[in-house]
Amino acid sequence: IGDNSLGLDQITLNIQTESFKLRGEITFTHHKRLQQSLWIPGLMGPYKYLPFLESYHEVVSLQHTLMGSLWLNEKHITFNEGKGYIEKDWGKSFPNIWLWAQCNHFKRQEVALMIGIARLPIFFNYYTSFAIPIYYKDQIEIFSNYNGGHISKLYRYKGYVHLIVTQKNKILDIKIYGSDEVSCITSRSSHMIRDVYACDTAKIEFSIMENNRMLFEEVGNLCELEMGGNTSKLK
């Protein structure tokens, strides 16, 4: 758009008005990307092939390294050695119910996580679809219903979320502590959804058990959390 561009490897900005100026370039390296196959063509797995869904969601880069800087008016902001994340959404509207979270600021440097849960209209009924890609131990593992995963617990009270997913012999346990509620309004078809919660300073804790043995656990900050609609139906 004009002199601005956003790609897999960099972002270039040059926005100038009378009262606002934002310019600079940030490059992205060391991408952590999801593997793709015929059965799993991306984050949504085989659901991505359905042509009638309201929305589609993809993770472009679960984590990457930033280099570069931006000038915001007269303030210089450096992003060198920072962490980035890229996703994309497309379609005609948001799902009527969803839960989304993302964090790549953990105690260990090489850890990243994204949570995507949504209620999808399929063949005159609604189904809960979820995908949780996690980068840890130099690998990306996706907990999802198309991989045989099952949501055994999803509890929400205001900004607090407790999610437990079982997949084969593994148990993923996630707790998110959100605060600073932000009122949001998002459109869906011809009406508005007003019960949307958003927070970009949440704390997150997660652990992965395998055969009743602790495989991995970590705590992160600056977790982004967003929930829309009656999330009690995401079961």
Say what the pTM is.
Answer: 0.91
Average pLDDT value for residue range 185-214:
80
Long-range own/partner contacts, residues 4-9 (CB < 8 A, 24 or more apart)? 8/60, 8/61, 8/86
Residue 233: φ, ψ to 5°: -85, 0
- pLDDT in the model for residue 195: 73
* pLDDT score for 186: 55
The amino acid occupying position 163 is L
Structure tokens at 114: 């994204």
Q: Residues 65, 26: contact at Cβ < 8 Å?
A: no
Sign of the torsion formed by the C-alpha atoms of 89, 115, 158 and 200: negative
Q: How many residues does the chain have?
A: 235
User: Is 145's pLDDT higher than 70?
Assistant: yes
What pLDDT does 181 receive? Answer: 60
What is residue 98's predicted lDDT score, i.e. its pLDDT? 93
Band the pLDDT of 94: cuts 50, 70, 90.
Answer: confident
pLDDT recorded at residue 117: 97
For the chain, give the percent of residues with pLDDT over 90: 75
The predicted model gives 60-65 an average pLDDT of 97
The larger pLDDT score, comparing residue 180 to residue 48, is at: 48
For the cut 70, the answer to whether the pLDDT of residue 39 exceeds it is: yes
Residues 6+ away with beta carbon under 8 Å from 212 = none
CA distances from 148 to 27, 31, 96, 169, 170 (A): 37, 27, 24, 11, 11
| Out of 79-93, 95-109, 170-184, least confident range | 170-184
With a pLDDT cut of 70, the percent of the chain lying above it is 94
Kindly report, residue by residue over 174-192, the tens digit of the pLDDT: 999 998 666 565 555 545 5
Question: Taking all residues of the chain, what is their mean pLDDT, rounded to a whole number?
Answer: 91
Please, are residues 104 and 63 in contact by the beta-carbon 8 Å criterion? yes
Residue 27 has pLDDT above 70, yes or no: yes
DSSP strand E in 158-212: where?
A: 160-167, 170-177, 182-188, 191-210
pLDDT of 218 above 60: yes
